[in-house]
A and B are shown apart, each in its own frame.
Chain A
Amino acid sequence: MAARETNPNFMNGVPELLILRLVQQEEMYGYEIVQAIRGRTDSVIAVGEGVVYPVLHGLESDGALRSRRRTVNGRSRIYYSVTPAGRRRLADLAAGWTNLTAAIQTILTGGRHGEAV
């Protein structure tokens, strides 16, 4: 897989946003989360899959996620679910991202000429 260059400032908060959104719907473990991101974005967002864990652990440490160990089909896994604090963080991140994409879209479509001056 070729390395993909990203703009860290623009990508800031995106992994958290996607993870919180997915885990809000149902309890998931790391592998499931990564496959869901790949599947739902048609692999547009594809990162080294292992780097999802520091993000998950960071969200858990911030109180946005909680984890529990579950044994499914004989395999013990750590499942993540969102907390009330995580829901609030998701709402903030989603609002910020929506504003950002709307602003970029405005520029791309050539709207609001001269207003930025």
Chain B
Amino acid sequence: MAKPFDELRERLLRGGVAPRHVRRYLRELGDHLSDLKVDESSAGRCPVDAEAAAQIRLGSMDDLAKAMIEKRQFRSWSNRAPWAIFSLGPLLMLAVAYYLSLFILWSGWQMFLTGTDTPFLRIHGFATFYFGVGRLIYFGAPILVGWIFFLIAARQRFNALWPIIGTTLVALVSGAAQIRASRTAIPGGLGHIRMFFTLPSSGDLLLGRVVGAVIVLSLGMAPYFIWRLRTRAAI
């Protein structure tokens, strides 16, 4: 029973049907097939004939797949607008993560480093943990965002091109991101943190940024390609 539905699942996912619709469809088909088998068995068929008759009544693989794929309302957003999901989506998620990490930096500065001109100082105790969370989000977000969008691509049987585009954009943005903090930039001495995106003119610094972007790109893509290799090896 599992084998034909496995094939149907693949066809639906490759046809762009959203995974949640696929799950529900297959579940109801499974229930329906069980009912049909009981029906055919009670009509006096042997189990093998009952199974075959039930499959015929349920419908051919082509019909079952076509009926679902034809309905546009069941398509996933990634299928309808892959350019938006895989390019704008990662950038939006990265922006949220950066905003959160900058808020942690700013609030930590207000709480633990009152009166200092910069939050980039040696710190101790709970402040180390607090700033550490912000740092983890800042440096980990580009890689995590890459993983999330490769996972989406894998679940929906997309080829790797779209998530590669998204992860490349994320790697470029993270490589160009810089933070400046100033206590005196705004009146009141509350402290001001600014993020901007630029590439340094110095060769060494530029090389460091490029290496950082390549690391983000590699780590972001690695799990997907390992999974692809393992899946291919299993086949």
Contacts and interface: CB of A to CB of B under 8 A. Distances in A.
B208 to A, nearest CB: 51
A78 B31 CA distance: 10
A110 B149 CA distance: 63
A1 B57 contact: yes
Contact of A49 (B24, B25, B32, B74): B32
B36 A53 contact: no
B74 A50 contact: no
B60 interface: yes
A78 B30 CA distance: 12
B22 to A, nearest CB: 11
A51 B64 contact: yes
A30 B32 contact: yes
Interface in B91-115: none
Classify chain B: how many residues form its interface, as a range.
20 to 34
A54 B25 contact: yes
Contacts of A31: 31-32, 35-36
Given A1-B56, A54-B68, A57-B74, A48 B31 contact: no
A55 B73 CA distance: 11
B21 interface: yes
B67 interface: yes
Contacts of B36: 31, 49
A49 B63 contact: no
A66 interface: no
B67 A54 contact: yes
Nearest to A61: B73
A50 B68 CA distance: 10
Interface string B8-47: 0000000000000100110011011001100000000000
Contacts of A78: 24, 28
B71 interface: yes
Nearest to B64: A50
A48 B59 contact: yes
Contact of B71 (A50, A54, A75): A54
Contacts of B60: 48
Contact of A50 (B24, B58, B70, B73): B58
Nearest to B17: A54
Nearest to B63: A48
Contacts of B24: 57, 78
A29 B35 CA distance: 11
Interface in B59-89: 59-60, 63-64, 67-68, 70-71, 73-74
20 contacts: A1-B57, A29-B31, A30-B31, A48-B58, A48-B59, A48-B60, A48-B63, A49-B57, A49-B59, A51-B63, A51-B64, A51-B67, A53-B67, A54-B25, A54-B67, A54-B68, A54-B70, A57-B25, A58-B74, A61-B74
